[in-house]
Amino acid sequence: MPYKLLFVCLGNICRSPSAENIMNHLLEQKGLTDQIICDSAGTSSYHIGSSPDSRMSKSALKRGVKMIGKARQFEKTDFEEFDLILAMDRHNYRDILSLDREGKYQDKVELMCNYATKHLDRDVPDPYYGGVDGFDYVIDLLFDACENLLESIINK
């Protein structure tokens, strides 16, 4: 049975689809696509059905990652469906946990930056209202976090 990861941000068009596609890229490189499955979602309904942000796609492509997918909203059933849910920032983390009123799934929800070792950020910054540098930075930060997350899963 494959291990299932869900990456979550606010709108599911910048940070979480980047994490999903970066992780899929790393899984392909290591031949692990049948062992670990990734998805992404947003805590809001702002962009349901939208493709990843074009600026994010350009930044990801610079690192060899093609952005695919359509935005969807996080649902309560995701708690059951996924082994690990990774929030891009503390606000997303609180929004996710607010749907788990009994606290049954708290151990499945973590902050993405907990896995970053080359960056000191505790939140993945939202680049949506900024320039190209912000998108490039988020891709670098997510590569850092995804590489370490993958190592931690492999070493479990």
Q: Is 53 helix (H, G, I), strand (E, B) or coil?
A: coil
Catalytic residue check, 9: yes
- DSSP code at position 63: T
Catalytic residue check, 38: no
Of the candidates 53, 78, 89, 126, the residue annotated as catalytic is 126
Amino acid found at 79: F
What Å distances lie between residue 56 and 1, 16, 143, CA to CA?
32, 11, 14
Catalytic residue check, 126: yes
**134 and 59 Cβ atoms separated by less than 8 Å:** no
Q: Is the dihedral of CA 67, 23, 117, 95 positive or negative?
A: positive
Of the candidates 15, 38, 53, 55, the residue annotated as catalytic is 15
Catalytic site residues?
9, 15, 126
